[in-house]
């Protein structure tokens, strides 16, 4: 059973546009929601993360929007650049006191066209 | 400082052979994770080590898979009698203690191909 559902599977955006990737979860015990960026041949790298006590977190061109009641969170990439072309994974964790296990989405392949 | 390293970077093996994959976590990180990433799929949790506690093995797909962590540092993932469905990228990640313990730092992975 997929604990975290991610969409779309792939996304093509023009340079300068906004990329939006969505994730949904069921387990209300999750309390940490990171996004990872992965380039070909590399391991995933933490991009930005949010806790459920805030509805939005922004770091540079990257923003997480979090809707606790809907159990959804999304990544917005503003002014998308060709260098942002990568695979993005959302994840969720119930926290260190419950084993700190992470559940990952299936990934979104983003292509930013120059 | 040095990040998480994994070896080998690529491994091709024949069906039925045993393989060992190695992970060197970031120095001082107490938590270590193994994941499997199949083509077009997300990361599948395999096993989690935290300090001297018993590992969480709940993600291991079969008894052909095992892992150990020696001295709270280096970890080895062993797959016995490999099958073609074991072909995937195996990723290792480590985490520090304290408030940052949520943050995972991934290695580059080992690409395993079973022929």
User: Measured between CB atoms, which of A45, A49, A95 is closest to B106?
Assistant: A45
Tokens of A68: 């606790």
B45 touches chain A (CB under 8 A): yes
Contact of A3 with A101, CB cutoff 8 Å: no
Would you state the pLDDT for residue B50? 86
Q: How far is A25 from chain B (nearest CA, A)?
A: 15
Residue A112 reports pLDDT greater than 90: yes
Beta-carbon contacts of A13 under 8 Å, excluding residues fewer than 6 positions away, are A19, A80, A110, A111, A112, A113
**CB-based contact (8 Å) between B108 and chain A?**
yes
Phi, psi of A17 (to 5 degrees): -80, 180
Q: For A35-64, write each residue's pLDDT tens digit.
A: 999 999 899 999 999 998 899 999 999 999
Distance CA A105, CA B44 (A): 9
How do residues B65-77 score in pLDDT, each as one tens digit? 999 998 879 999 9
A residues 38-77 closer than 8 Å to B (CB): 41-46, 49
Q: Is B105 on the interface with A (CB under 8 A)?
A: yes
**What confidence tier does A113 reach under pLDDT thresholds 50, 70, 90?**
very high
Helix/strand/coil for B85: helix
Q: What percent of chain B has pLDDT over 90?
A: 66
pLDDT, tens digit, 9 for 90 and up, residues A2-39:
789 999 999 999 999 999 999 999 999 898 999 999 99
Residue B99: pLDDT above 60? no
């Amino acid at each position: 059973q997929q604990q975290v559902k991610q969409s779309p599977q792939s996304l093509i955006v023009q340079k300068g546009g906004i990329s939006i990737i969505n994730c949904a979860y069921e387990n209300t015990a999750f309390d940490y929601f990171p996004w990872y960026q992965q380039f070909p041949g590399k391991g995933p790298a933490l991009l930005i993360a949010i806790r459920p006590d805030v509805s939005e977190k922004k770091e540079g061109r990257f923003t997480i929007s979090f809707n606790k009641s809907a159990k959804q969170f999304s990544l917005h990439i503003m002014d998308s650049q060709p260098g942002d072309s990568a695979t993005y994974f959302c994840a969720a964790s119930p926290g260190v006191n419950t084993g700190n296990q992470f559940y990952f989405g299936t990934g979104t392949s983003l292509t930013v066209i120059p | 400082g040095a990040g998480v390293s994994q070896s080998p970077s690529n491994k091709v093996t024949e069906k039925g052979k045993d393989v060992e994959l190695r992970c060197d976590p970031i120095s001082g990180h107490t938590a270590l994770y193994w994941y499997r990433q199949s083509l077009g799929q997300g990361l599948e949790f395999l096993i989690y080590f935290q300090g001297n506690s018993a590992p969480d093995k709940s993600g291991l797909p079969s008894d052909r898979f095992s892992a150990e962590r020696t001295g709270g540092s280096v970890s080895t993932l062993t797959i016995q009698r490999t099958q073609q469905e074991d072909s995937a990228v195996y990723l290792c990640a480590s985490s520090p203690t304290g408030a940052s313990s949520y943050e995972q730092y991934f290695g580059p992975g080992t690409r395993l191909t079973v022929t």
